Amino acid sequence: MREDELPENTMTLMVEIKEDGHIALFSGHNLSEDMGEEELTYLTDMVNGLFISFEDLMNHYSNVGQAARVAEELLEQDEVLFEPDDELMEAIKDRKIIPFDKKKLN
């Protein structure tokens, strides 16, 4: 897509997955000249920064996306399940856990 085909005041970062598994990136923008020069500079620097850093941060983006997906799945559950570890149960039984004064926690 050519930049002049983008709706006004939009920016794009397009990721194409090639047949060989490699990734090709394309960026573009169609920002109104009515914006202030400072805002235009900031926005174009931002999209250029995303473009340049994307390949280095792909694993980071994937990890953030995975965390968001897992959080969403947990929020959809009706109840929270907690199964204590055997080691914790033994520590409780043997009184190896330090009690906290709830009045002093605040």
pLDDT at 9: 92
Do 16 and 26 meet the contact criterion of CB atoms below 8 Å apart? Answer: yes
Do 9 and 31 meet the contact criterion of CB atoms below 8 Å apart? Answer: yes
* Number of domains the chain is built from: 1
pLDDT at 105: 62
What DSSP element (H or E) covers 103?
Answer: none
Q: Map residue 28 onto helix, strand or coil.
A: strand
pLDDT at 94: 75
* Per-residue confidence band for 85, with pLDDT thresholds at 50, 70 and 90: confident
What DSSP element (H or E) covers 30?
Answer: strand 23-30
- Whether 55 has a pLDDT exceeding 90, the answer reads no
Instruction: Show the domain range for 2.
Output: 1-106
* Per-residue confidence band for 66, with pLDDT thresholds at 50, 70 and 90: very high
Do 60 and 54 meet the contact criterion of CB atoms below 8 Å apart? Answer: no
